[in-house]
């Protein structure tokens, strides 16, 4: 039996997912997308999973785009299904309700870049290269890249990256707001794991509300988005986690959040 294309490992409250196509630079084919979608669906339903770390096998690539050999000869109907599957995956990650950390080890290009953009936070090794080179193939980003990149980096920078097809270094990506942190290659998973453990110990309902408020409010007028924030604030104020967190603060101890 062949090895899974997505490896899964649970450590405490942290689920580690690894795209397992190292010989193909972890390129995203239909099978990888399907297995990732299944893995995130399970993560969303498992209360023991408080945070997810997503990375690629080896040290050369997080995910070097879509599998070009697979998509080149797709029919019109197959193209539509391929794009829809990709969007479903990216939306599932973005709306998981739990923080997802992309640990970017090397290339994150095309669909791999879009995969990282859908994650909540991004940490990269210093040798990482991030880009959307679809224009060089006569294509455009198809998994949300035109929208998520411009929202993170700004319209001008996003257009430059997409129109030239040029990848940027990890340091540039950090300066542009695409990354939260850059570390030496050998420290990537340690850094991602430390952050994941910190998030896993935090209040699940509050984190879910923060993520939802940010994503849902991004395209709303300020007055509407502030009202949205108020609604989420009122919801978490009635949670057992809020009572535990405030009690722990007053008692000068660490809180133990249970997600209710």
Alpha-carbon span 128 to 80, nearest angstrom: 30
Strands (E), the chain: 6-11, 14-19, 51-56, 61-64, 100-104, 107-109, 121-125, 129-131, 168-169, 181-183
Alpha-carbon span 133 to 65, nearest angstrom: 9
The residue annotated as part of the active site, out of 11, 34, 134, 197, is 134
197 tagged catalytic: no
The residue annotated as part of the active site, out of 3, 78, 114, 229, is 114
114 tagged catalytic: yes
Q: What does the angle CA 118 – CA 120 – CA 122 come to, to the nearest 5 degrees?
A: 90
Alpha-carbon span 22 to 145, nearest angstrom: 23
Which residues are designated catalytic? 114, 134
């Amino acid at each position: 039996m062949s090895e899974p294309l997505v490896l899964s490992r649970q450590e405490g409250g942290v689920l580690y997912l690894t795209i397992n196509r190292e010989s193909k630079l972890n390129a995203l084919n239909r099978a990888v997308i399907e297995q990732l979608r299944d893995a995130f669906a399970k993560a969303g339903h498992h209360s023991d999973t408080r945070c997810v770390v997503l990375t690629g096998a080896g040290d050369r690539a997080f995910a070097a785009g879509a599998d070009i050999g697979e998509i080149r000869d797709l029919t019109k109907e197959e193209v539509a299904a391929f794009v829809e599957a990709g969007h479903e995956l990216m939306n599932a990650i973005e709306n998981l309700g739990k923080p997802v950390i992309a640990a970017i080890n090397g290339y994150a290009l095309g669909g791999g870049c879009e995969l990282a953009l859908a994650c909540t936070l991004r940490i990269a090794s210093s040798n990482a290269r991030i880009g959307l080179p679809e224009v060089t193939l006569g294509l455009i980003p198809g998994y949300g890249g035109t929208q998520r990149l411009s929202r993170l980096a700004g319209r001008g920078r996003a257009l430059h990256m997409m129109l030239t097809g040029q990848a940027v270094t990890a340091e540039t990506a950090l300066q542009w707001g695409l990354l939260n942190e850059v570390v030496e290659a050998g420290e990537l998973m340690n850094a991602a794991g430390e952050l994941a453990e910190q998030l896993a110990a935090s209040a699940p309902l509050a984190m879910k509300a923060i993520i939802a408020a940010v994503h849902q409010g991004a395209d709303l007028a300020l007055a509407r988005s502030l009202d949205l924030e108020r609604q989420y604030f009122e919801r978490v104020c009635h949670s057992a986690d809020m009572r535990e967190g405030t009690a722990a603060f007053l008692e000068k101890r660490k809180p133990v959040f249970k997600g209710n």
